[in-house]
Structure 1
Amino acid sequence: MTARTGAARTEGTGAVNARTGEPRSALAAAWLRALEEVAPDAGRLARGRAYARDGGVDAVRVGPGRLVGFVHGSRPRPYRASLRLPELTPGEWDTFLGLAVADPAHTAALLDKELPPALAGEARAAGVRLLPEPGELRPGCSCPDPVRPCKHAAALAHEAAALLDADPFVLLLLRGRPEDELRGELTRRQRATGEAARPAMPTVPAEVARARGVRPPLPEPLPLPEAPAESRSYPSVPGGPSPDGLEFLASDAAVRAHAALVRGTPPLPSLSVWHDTIRLAATHPRLTGRRTLSPLFASFAKAAGRTPQELTRAAAAWRQGAEAGLAALEEAWDPPAGDFDRARGALAAAGRPRMTIWRNRLTDPTHTVQLRYGRDGRWYPYRSDPGEDDWWPEGPAADDPVGALES
């Protein structure tokens, strides 16, 4: 695990993290207490705190048993500071993971990148040291100061506290296990625990069941769930699909299954990979960020063999009218005489400039507004920047051309 934290800010061993303005986590506070226990000089701790607060710590790297970073002090050349922490033994890891999966709340918290204080306490009672014990934290530095921790190692410790505030897996990595390995093992044990707890169904030999003249009544159906089931976290497998993508698709399937059970929503029609990707992008706000495209959105576009811009345009068309709206984007066709021919008259009566016709499309003289007549008999508004031929869906479809322009 590697982290660049030159912009991180921490202050003191107090209860507030200066980076976020929120109370410091118990994990980070315990880390700094461990530093104080091995520090013979409060002055060096204060200097280190100031270095961290002023952005003097850079290029922090975390690995099993060791944390290293470069600290800029009064000299031009930074010093290389380090902190070492003993790794847990395989037996201690087995105990910790067993405690974690024994309580579903502990498992959920860890998979949500939180380390519950109660779990840390249970682990300590079982002999598993998660938080630094007195004398365990061993500082080092390339500076000539013979006292340890020096101010540079103290600065690194304060920077590490900021990392622990944001991600407790930093501590678990220092104790010897990377995040992806831990998440995968937690998921495996959680699944195994659930299967072991499932009661065995009574069985009857097949020949006995066939010989019975009267069949027992079927059991009552289970009550309908109040909400879709939450998706479990998936481990990261080298060369395998993205865990975030799997979790997203599983959540979408659960939502659609719940709607089918509770509201009788019909199943989706058979969609191609590209069209189903468009549906997901159009109906799930989680795929897009504010004014940006999320990495998950970009990965979905790549998996469908398209660019994020192509997926963005197609998703906007889907929001206009699902498959019919997408057809208006992708297809030009020759509509029969009737409503389409009367459209220009309706637009002229509404005071709109006369629009040119090409197949099922009407385009205004400025070449910035276009109406597309869909095979469903609705009108789909499009816009383009002046001087360009780059049409994008704009607003909802309407039953008449004037309404489409005014929506």
Structure 2
Amino acid sequence: MTRNDDEHGGEGADAERTFAALPPARGRAFALTWWGRAWLTALESTALDPGQLKAGRRLARAGAVGAVSVRPGRITAVVQDRDGTGHRADVLLQQLTDEQWDRFADMAAERAGHVAALLDREMPTHLVEDAELAGVVLLPGLGDLEAECDCGAWDHCGHTAALCYQTARLLEQDPFVLLLMRGRGERALLEALESRTGTPGPDAGPAGADGAHGSNDMRGAHGAHDGHGVDADEAFASGAVLPALPDLPALPAGPGAPPSLDTETPPPAGTDPGALEFLAARTAAEAHRLLSDALREGQRGRLEHLVHPAATVAEDAVRLAAGEPAPEVADRLAEGSGRGREGLSLAVRAWQQGGAEALEVFDEEWTPDRDTLARARAALDTAWEEDERPPLKSRANRWTVVGAPVQLRLGRDGRWWPYRRERGRWTPAGAPAQDPATALATAEGATGP
């Protein structure tokens, strides 16, 4: 094996991928999959100072890790300290040799289920085990993650630890990130598999925003072998004995009506039929939305980017309340969310302007880092002519017009959200805008419900 960044991995865009900075991970685990936890185990069993690991977790959770560059043998990012000072952090991982990659490709080509799993952004244990039997170690072990940082630390510091924790989140979404660190980009690996199977592979273009390819034909590479049968996942992946799928049904005009629970049989104790009927209706409406979006995207499109990320309990209460439930259900949501009726009503107004992102802006007051604050001030300075700029008083991510009931809130994505003070409470006043002047004009023109 070698740590030379340029010796393996091919050329062109496939040899390096850059991932935009991820949002803060407060209250969430960095890794839930077994391979993501194995990556963190390699870090936590290697670092000599637990205090640096704790500092790294804190920085990663706070969103202090910038864009992550992944290339053969190395991952790199700028990590900001709490005072805003940026440090370049690198973590090195041994690349596989060309011979090892050939053995891995031979092994994977013989088992179509392995290819199918990778294309589904999964890394099953039997893939890793079969690779090890072929003499190819994919996941890092004790001492495999070497750290380099311009802060001068000789071991893992808070900056390189934060980079590792953030990389675990990337691995959760796409195990091809690990394979690129080991020396082969996704395109190069799939072309190597195609050359062994003779089966047309997926679209050779780079993965889309959700990591998906335009085709999964590579999954049908092989069927049974050696007369001993195949695993169920391989049989399913091969498609050799599966009939063609029927044409997609036409989109119904609207969501179906759930069955009525108003029967002569009394409900069990603690069961609210009205609430259940409301939840069923909302589920049907969401299913209709997903189907409509999927058909509009095209029959070959993937659905992952159409589905909202899993909501927290607090977010889900607001989402459900936005569906105009019956008064008794709305009362339960207001009580269960801890917001009260008025607070829930305002949260619903935020949700209707922009979903979970708008709700985060409504709930959270946060302090921008130095670079974000500089960009925000530059946007404010250039939004108006000098003699037209309103006087603004700032606190954290909020800018309030002096002497007026209007406010701008900066979201973590750089957009400006308009707010207006109504009945003593700051109230969402419209959709966000990249230009603060546009957002402020929206707030000034807004009226109450």
With the shorter chain as reference, the TM-score category is 0.3 to 0.5
The structure having more radius of gyration, on CA atoms, is 1
TM-score (norm 2): 0.43
